[in-house]
Amino acid sequence: MRPAFTNQQLLFIAGLVWLIAGLNVLRIGLRAFPGYLNCPDGLLTLAIFYAFIHFVFGPLVRKNTARITAYPTLQPFYRFLDRKGFIVMTLMISLGISLRQLQLLPDVCIAVFYSGLGAALSLAGLLFFRQYRLTGRQAKPY
């Protein structure tokens, strides 16, 4: 018998996974930043953050929250993400590792892009935690 999780627990797992991934990507970006810390690069990092949270991760959190909360029964832990999500995540991780290992981009690109992306991923994790909290409040009888 495999463990099963409630919708609320799946939202918590999603938050944890996205936050850990985001903090790791942000760490990589910030480690590459010291030599490139200037106003234009900082503004570009903020623009990347805004674009990812507004156009990618915000809608992704809403879509996955709706999918998770629609489950009528307990689910295995990996159902916090759908098949397409796992494919995209695998491709993004593979591409990120490849870009860094093959040194296809200069450090300034890694610093700016990874910092913006990592901050957006981290915020997506926090948004899942917010959904976890909100779902818990709705489930409690008053």
In a domain, 112, yes or no: yes
DSSP class of residue 140 equals S
In a domain, 9, yes or no: no
Residue with tokens 């790791």: 24
Number of structural domains (the chain) is 1
The pTM is what?
0.90
Span 5-57, pLDDT tens digits: 999 999 999 999 999 999 999 999 999 887 767 889 999 999 999 999 999 99
Go through 2-18 and write b for each residue having 16 or more CB atoms within 10 A of its CB, e for each that does not. eeebbbbbbbbbbbebb
Nearest Cα to Cα of residue 112 among 64, 44, 22? 44
Its domain, for residue 129, covers 19-69+106-134
Q: 125 Cβ partners below 8 Å, 6+ apart?
A: 14, 15, 16, 17, 18, 19, 20, 21, 22
In a domain, 37, yes or no: yes
In a domain, 114, yes or no: yes
